[in-house]
Amino acid sequence: MDVGQDDEQRNELRQFADRSYTQRRAKANTEANAYVYEMAAQLQKRRDLFDTTTFSPKDVERYGPSDLGRHVLMARRMLEAGVTFVKVTSYGWDTHGDNFNAHLSLVPKFDRAFAAVIEDLHERGMLEHTLVIAMSEFGRTPRINGHLGRDHWPEAWSLAMAGCGLKHGVVAGKTNAWVLG
């Protein structure tokens, strides 16, 4: 049995189970659930989008050879193909210890990939209708802890956005020495 046939049979089984499930649930919830499966099925038809071996060496160099660089490059490819929402996750930023050495590796990887995707979306005329957001789950304390790290600081964190007609260079809000939580 080939992969496509196997997927079809799994989907038929899911649809059978869904019929029973939907009879006892709100229509909006079941439609949202079905939509997620349909989008996944559409993405499976475009497996070429996920083939990193087809990236041009020039793009790999520009975005960087890191996982983050490859994932942001793949996100660009998905946006070019018409995907309307793409999320890229980057791990390893929880620097409660050895913050400064960790950032020597992390920050250049992020800067390289982020700058490349902004530049590419702009050059392709896509940035005006694409919102790019870079944010974290927490800010970091301005104080260095005993492990040469920085702890969580939910009172303030940075967020960078580009695209969708946003005014360039705007800084909104600020922290100070008294907002330490």
pLDDT in tens, 43-102: 888 989 999 999 999 999 999 999 999 999 999 999 999 989 999 999 999 899 999 999
**Residues 18 and 75 both lie in one domain:** no
**Residues 78 and 55 both lie in one domain:** yes
Model pTM score? 0.81
Report yes or no: 173 and 139 within 8 Å, Cβ to Cβ. Answer: no
Q: Classify residue 157: in a domain, yes or no.
A: yes
Work out the angle at residue 25's Cα, subtended by the Cα atoms of residues 23 and 29, and round it to the nearest 5 degrees: 125
Q: Classify residue 180: in a domain, yes or no.
A: no
Domain that holds residue 39: 3-45
**Residues 89 and 70 both lie in one domain:** yes
**Residues 127 and 72 both lie in one domain:** yes
**Residues 108 and 41 both lie in one domain:** no
Q: Classify residue 175: in a domain, yes or no.
A: no
**Residues 156 and 131 both lie in one domain:** yes
Distance linking the first and last C-alpha atoms of the chain: 59
**Residues 57 and 40 both lie in one domain:** no
Average pLDDT over residues 142-149: 92
**Residues 64 and 111 both lie in one domain:** yes
**Residues 105 and 138 both lie in one domain:** yes
Burial class (CB in 10 A: 0-12, 13-18, 19+), 140: buried
Q: Classify residue 174: in a domain, yes or no.
A: no
**Residues 16 and 40 both lie in one domain:** yes
Average pLDDT over residues 110-132: 97
Average pLDDT over residues 127-152: 92
Q: Classify residue 64: in a domain, yes or no.
A: yes
Q: How many domains does the chain have?
A: 2
